[in-house]
Structure 1
Amino acid sequence: MGSTQQRFMRRGVTKFYFLSTIAAVTNTPTRQELAAGTDLSGAISDIAGWSLGNSPIDTPDLGSTLTTSIPGEDKADASTLTFYEDKAGDTVETLLTKGEEGYVVILRKGDVPQSKSMDVFPVRVASRAPAYSAGSDPAKFTVTFAVSDEPTLDAAVPAAV
């Protein structure tokens, strides 16, 4: 890897979209579905979660003092997006109301067609809460998502039209 690896920072590269529907059972959007979604990237101030964890199951046996394990259940981490509030509009608030179902699509390396860097999380909006401050902080609100089905990870970004 060494010197040929091209490192980057996520800010300005990674894209977050919210899509209302994806037709394919694989949960991989077409270019048209991605274009019809809402690009949330420019309004996001903070990101948490958006990954899977596993709870290994211990498998001790009488033949060894070592407690081995096998993979157990997968669970999505608590996943949130924190947004800047828009004083002139409410596009994100209207889109992400409590109970809204859809897909959070993350293009980890940006919109690079055929790059296997797209993650798709089927979600339901669990809550949306404003953050209040008397300080000189920008106005923000946090949306908490419940991951409602198995995410599709490392999918190919759809080809450009």
Structure 2
Amino acid sequence: MRRGVTKILFLTTIAAATNIPTRPELVAGTDLSKQTSDIEGWSLENSPIETPDLGAQFATSIPGEDKAASSSLTFYEDLASDSVEKLLSKDAQGYICILRKGDVPQSKSLDVFPVRVGSRAPSYSTGTEPAKFKVSFSISDLPTLDAPVPAAAAG
């Protein structure tokens, strides 16, 4: 992730079956970048299938099913607003869009994760640090990775 460049958005809807948002859908999303203090997961993992045979001592494997890593975002609490908490309440569904290289139209750096919020909990600490809360997500369908960022509106 690139501080000051990477964008994290939450979209409530994407019309295309490819899960690639249009520019208006992207603009309608909520930019979570400035409130985000930490990010975990947001990748695919493969569970290989062991394929040992009696003819060799080396146990080979083949690619098995893909699954999403446990994924979460940690946010700074805002004393004046609870808009992120309301947006990402338990069972909320939508899409986390990560623009790895920022909002650069046609850059193939957009990852889109269909999600459902599994939990939201405060991160308690007695240390000298800002108040935070962590939102854990279940990735509910196959993510779209390395998609092109939609073109900017002509103006």
Q: What TM-score do you get using the length of structure 1 for normalisation?
A: 0.92
Distance 2:97 2:149 in 1: 10
Instruction: Give the total of aligned pairs.
Output: 153
For 1:76-155, what aligned pairs fall within 5 Å after superposition? 76-155=68-147
User: 17-26 or 130-139: which moved more?
Assistant: 130-139
SS at 2:27 equivalent = helix
Find runs of 4+ consecutive structure 1 residues off by over 6 angstroms: none
Q: Which amino acid aligns with 1:101?
A: Q
Alignment of 1:19 with 2:11, yes or no, is: yes
The runs of 5 or more residues in structure 2 that have no matched partner are none
Structure 2 counterpart of 1:29, which letter? P
Post-superposition shift, 1:148? 0.5
1:62 alignment partner AA: L
User: Could you tell me how far 1:137 is from its partner in structure 2?
Assistant: 1.4
Residue 19 of structure 2 is aligned to residue 47 of structure 1: no
Give 2:84's aligned amino acid: V
Aligned partner of residue 84 in structure 2, secondary structure: helix
Unmatched 5+ stretches in structure 1: 1-8
Question: Helix, strand or coil for the counterpart of 1:138?
Answer: coil
1:159 matched to 2:122? The reply is: no
| Two-structure CA RMSD over aligned residues (Å) | 1.0
Secondary structure of the structure 2 residue equivalent to 1:72: coil
Displacement of 1:136: 2.4
Partner in structure 2 of residue 62 of structure 1: 54
